Amino acid sequence: MLTRKQHELICFINDRLTETGVSPSFEEMKDALDLKSKSGVHRLISALEERDFIRRLPNRARALEVLRMPERPAEPKAAATPAPPVGTTAPAAAAASPIPANDVLEIPLHGRIAAGLPIEAFEGSSTLAVPAALLGSGEHYALEVSGDSMVEAGILDGDYALIRRTETARDGEIVVALIDDSEATLKYFRREGAMVRLDPANRSYDPQRYAPAQVRVQGKLSGLLRRYD
């Protein structure tokens, strides 16, 4: 049986992987569980790993895989409905609303974005059909990924990055960063002293550093779509 914090952590990791396909950062896990330091997160992850609930993926920074989820408490049984008096008819049960199995939303598709060096942002505009289950709350748009600098985060050339619009980001989140109001790139966002650092997820690429005035966050990665030809 897991402790309360262990249970909270694995649920948070599983929810984030389901929503975005990317493991949360240690900073995000610390904040979500209201812990005082990241060392507490390391201890919880080690405990979950030892009990085969999660595993760390080799050669991928910050990558976790949920192997199994803890059992949830059983739902309390509903009280039995008393039989109607003799001579009366029981009211018909209300029909349950069917849950759409294939809800699809059309979101704007704004051309290609570099997962390597920056390229021109938002070339043209069309739409992309996306399963609603891949999108959370908020306004979204899609960008086609060009390049291989985010491959160690599971983001490949030709993928469609699903982006939730926002102008703010926390350290360790994958963002669309607009540089000098003309070029966009998909990278990990981090602050480094007085600078903004955009980190790739490919050891062949170097981090990019800019003055804060040069960088505007245009959204955060919410999910990915991939086509197989």
Any idea which residues carry the catalytic annotation?
149, 187
DSSP label at residue 152? G
Structure tokens at 215: 């960088």
Distance between CA atoms of 32 and 17, rounded to whole angstroms?
15
Q: How far apart are CA 122 and CA 143, in angstroms?
A: 8
**Is the separation of the CB atoms in 154 and 22 below 8 Å?**
yes
Written as six digits, the tokens of 176 are 């669309």
Which residue type occupies 120? Answer: E
Q: Six-digit token pair at 150?
A: 């985010």
Q: How far is CA 195 from CA 46, 138, 172, 192, 198, in A?
A: 33, 29, 15, 5, 10
